[in-house]
Structure 1
Amino acid sequence: MNTLTNGQAEQLIQLFADRYIRKDYDAFLDLFADDIIFEFPYSQEPNPRRLDGKAALKPYLENLEKVLEITSFTPPVIHVAADAPVFFAQFEASGKLLMTGQPYEQSYISVVKVQENGRIVHYQDYWNPLAAT
């Protein structure tokens, strides 16, 4: 896939959000290549900065659901790269921190690279770790 349309990127990020909120992790993981690289550049210890492969992503999701419940995502603002299978998505999430019951409000910017088969091969998740404390 050399380029993406705005519609393809919007559909992919919508599936991402819907499947995550429903906690349908098998369907969520189907959005990714087996060798997905999932990065969290602003992550702080003890959280990982990088996950390699679906085998690492699945237990991460299962642990995350014990700490955080996201109940909604805003519609994304999508920016598609001109000559690459890459898009940028800006969106917000709301939910709660399960250990404290405090609200969780987060702004995200994600950089997403997609393979020819439409699966995500690289996902960079830029979020504010202070919102999770």
Structure 2
Amino acid sequence: MTSRSCVISVTASNPTRVVLTRTEAVLVSSYRGASQGKSHEQEPKMTVANLDDFKALEPFFDVIKEGLKGKVDGEQFFDLLADDIVTEFVVTVPSYPRRVEGRDALAELYRPYGDTMQLESAGDLAVHYDREASVVVLEYSVQGHVVETNRPYTNRFVSVITVTDGKVTHWRDYLDSYAVMQAFNDDLPAWE
């Protein structure tokens, strides 16, 4: 398996290095704006380029937009996120980062998704909203397949999302890691 690396700049003063491989992007060092106490209004607005790169994730983006409707500002998925969003993958799979800082770093993590996985649908949405804490909890599922083998993929998620000034500023994600591993491994038995 070959790997390629690229350096993206979230701001001129805060470089981010992301190593991309065919199946994943692993965050090596991340955007430091949040740790320096800067709000998303202080940073210049960035636009995620080449949205066609994210077509494999459209069902996921759509269910998230539906769950956050009326609570965040923006048309497309990345517009919903603050520039300095902190995303934590609490339950994850080996070699996937546990924490990603910055909208552009998250976009680069998601960009190669379609090389390995194609989502066909998302649903089973349940929305729980704590108005006082500005926290939205989304429960949802996705269905798709592994690109290389066409093996089916189904997973359930719980996302705990903090909204500040109409943007997602913090996201904690929980998923069924066994379902991910099972989609890529014929030898793993079904887990009922």
Report the TM-score, using the length of structure 1 for normalisation: 0.76
Which residue of structure 2 lines up, in the alignment, with residue 13 of structure 1?
64
| Paired residues for 1:27-106 under 5 Å | 27-106=76-155
* Deviation of the 1:56 alpha carbon: 1.0
CA distance in structure 1 between the aligned counterparts of 2:124 and 2:94, rounded to whole angstroms: 30
Q: CA deviation at 1:82?
A: 4.4
Q: Please identify the structure whose Cα radius of gyration is greater.
A: 2
Listed as ranges, the gaps of 5+ residues in structure 2 are: 1-61, 69-74, 182-192
> How many Å separate the matches in 2 of 1:83 and 1:42?
26
Larger deviation: 67-76 or 49-58?
67-76
Q: What's the offset of the Cα at 1:99?
A: 2.8
Moved over 6 A (4+): none
Question: Identity across aligned pairs (percent)?
Answer: 28
Distance of 1:16 and 1:86 partners within structure 2: 12
| Count of residues paired in the alignment | 114
Instruction: For residues 7-49 of structure 1, give each alpha carbon's deviation from its aligned partner in whole angstroms, at most 9, with x where no partner exists.
Output: xxxx9833589xxxxxxxx932111000011111111321111
Letter in structure 2 aligned against 1:77: A
The answer to whether the 8 Å contact 2:63/2:140 transfers is no
**Aligned-pair RMSD on alpha carbons?**
2.3
Q: Larger RCO: Structure 1 or Structure 2 (Cα < 8 Å, ≥ 6 residues apart)?
A: 1
The 1:107–1:73 alpha-carbon spacing in structure 2 relative to 1, beyond 3 Å, is same
Q: SS state of the match for residue 179, structure 2?
A: helix
One-letter amino acid matched to 2:179? A
